[in-house]
Amino acid sequence: MAQQPVAPLVVTAGRGNRRLRAVACRAGADLVVTITGGERPHVGCVVLAQPHPARDGPARVRVTSTVVAIPPHREEALARPLAEKLARALAATVVVSAGVHDDRLAPEGVAAYLRLGDRLAAALLAALAP
């Protein structure tokens, strides 16, 4: 019997103008996530994260990730940790695309978005838990 399609899961973190939105869709056992936010959402970076057993012990899980970023976008700092955390926790291949843009974003704004990324990952894991 074919696997039934699953509705996308939508999770947000933050509020007001500083908010991230994740739309997650299962692809079999794997996961595809799109993260957007800021004034002009877009695709600035894509990360593919794949878990595998560590060479020094099969009980340990390592994650290998591949990043494609469109210069001068800097969403890798948001997308890579999130993809790797999800891949490790779910034991699944995970694709994360991210695009967050705010004009004149100061370093503390970047740090705030990275903290929101951590909250978003935790919310996704809680929502995806069996």
Average model confidence (pLDDT) for the chain?
91
Q: Given this model, what pLDDT does residue 49 score?
A: 98
The answer to whether position 2 is within a domain reads: no
The structure tokens 């800021």 sit at 38
Q: Given this model, what pLDDT does residue 5 score?
A: 52
What CATH number is associated with residue 57? 3.30.230.100
Q: Given this model, what pLDDT does residue 60 score?
A: 83
Residue 120's pLDDT band (cuts 50, 70, 90): very high
Chain segment 45-94, per-residue pLDDT in tens: 999 999 998 888 767 889 999 999 999 999 999 999 999 999 999 999 99
The answer to whether position 20 is within a domain reads: yes
The answer to whether position 78 is within a domain reads: yes
Model pTM greater than 0.85?
Answer: yes
